[in-house]
Amino acid sequence: MKEVFLRSEQNPLITAADMPYLANTVFNAGVADLGDEVLLLLRVESCSGRSHLIVARSKDGVTDWRIEDRALLHPAQGSPHESNGVEDCRITWVEELKSWVLAYTAYSDQGPGVALAKTTDFSSVERIGLVFPPDDKNAALFPRTFDGLFAILHRPSAGGGSIWDSFSPDLMFWGKSEMLLPVRSGPWWDGLRVGAGLPPIETEEGWLLIYHGVKAIAGRPLYRIGAVLLDLEEPRRVIARARRWLLNPQEHYERAGDAPNVIFTCGGFVRSGVLWTYYGAADSSICLARARMSDVLSVVKEERV
């Protein structure tokens, strides 16, 4: 059977060898479609083991990446919540703020928490601060408000490995938290943990959420990508959930690396009905896979909840 996603023939698009300085790995990039170019906010793990976030740009989103040599967000910038690094950024354009909002993992000795920041130009950022204390990660902001409240997805580790949502009037103070997407059970591909991937994408049929699911095989995690549809006006209501995964580690660059058998996405966009999904492969490189939105939506709707 044909898969929904087609991998780029240029994969892996970016590896540590492409960095303008010595780095251990580059993976799990945030993505912004700037129209005339694609911007990635690369997670770079330095040889110290800590991660920082750095901008890369490409005209066609595939080749000729221009990678900056100064990090946009770096643990050395002095935020106490980021002393062990900044990781896995999801980028959302919020029209109401005329800004890009960055939701990322702020890692300190207390563990990983969720932090937010804002930018308009990706050359300077304004930190909003730590909004969910450790342990919590995989945060992705919706691009618009619901009854005047911002909505965010996140994954508190005490929440059973499931995706939760929370609401805020100002991006700083969050509440009305509820569990939104539970893990499935036993042998399911998303039976151990789930987490938001791309920030939710608005479609006529609902919010499309591409998420990662984890299954443990012989004690080792296997990360894949799947999808759900959320109600347009009541986004915590799941209206459909694909039974099967949509992207599974199978290429050598997904099977081998610092974390084998990992496909982990933090961003993408839709252009001309095609969903571009960038992902970290084996925590070691950045790759791209594309799918028709109509194909993704028909798989998701295989099983109405």
Distances (CA, A) of 42 to 26, 147, 165, 247: 6, 33, 25, 21
Q: Closest separation between CB of residue 212 and ligand BMA, Å?
A: 8
**Subset of residues 279 to 298 that bind ligand BMA, contact rule: CB under 6 A:** 280, 283
Residue 154, classed as helix, strand or coil, is strand
**Subset of residues 202 to 241 that bind ligand BMA, contact rule: CB under 6 A:** 223
What is the residue whose two structure tokens read 């980021």?
A: 82
Binding status of residue 278 toward ligand BMA by CB under 6 A: no
Binding status of residue 264 toward ligand BMA by CB under 6 A: yes
Binding status of residue 262 toward ligand BMA by CB under 6 A: yes
Binding status of residue 257 toward ligand BMA by CB under 6 A: no
Q: Closest separation between CB of residue 280 and ligand BMA, Å?
A: 5
Q: Could you give the CA distance from residue 136 to residue 81 in angstroms, rounded to a whole number?
A: 13
Binding status of residue 277 toward ligand BMA by CB under 6 A: no
Binding status of residue 259 toward ligand BMA by CB under 6 A: yes
Burial 224-259 (b: 16+ CB within 10 A, else e): bbbbbbbeeeebbebbbbbeebbbbbeeebbeebeb
273 DSSP assignment: T
Q: Could you give the CA distance from residue 28 to residue 183 in angstroms, rounded to a whole number?
A: 22
Distances (CA, A) of 40 to 96, 212, 245, 279: 22, 19, 25, 11
**Subset of residues 20 to 49 that bind ligand BMA, contact rule: CB under 6 A:** 28
63 to 102: interface string for ligand BMA, x by CB under 6 A: ------------------------xx--------------
| Segment near ligand BMA (CB under 6 A); pick from 53-61, 162-170, 249-257, 258-266 | 258-266
Q: Are 145 and 151 in contact (CB under 8 A)?
A: yes
Which is closer to ligand BMA, CB of 165 or CB of 283?
283
Q: Closest residue to ligand BMA, Cβ-based?
A: 259
Site residues (CB under 6 A) for ligand BMA?
Answer: 28, 87-88, 223, 259, 262, 264, 280, 283
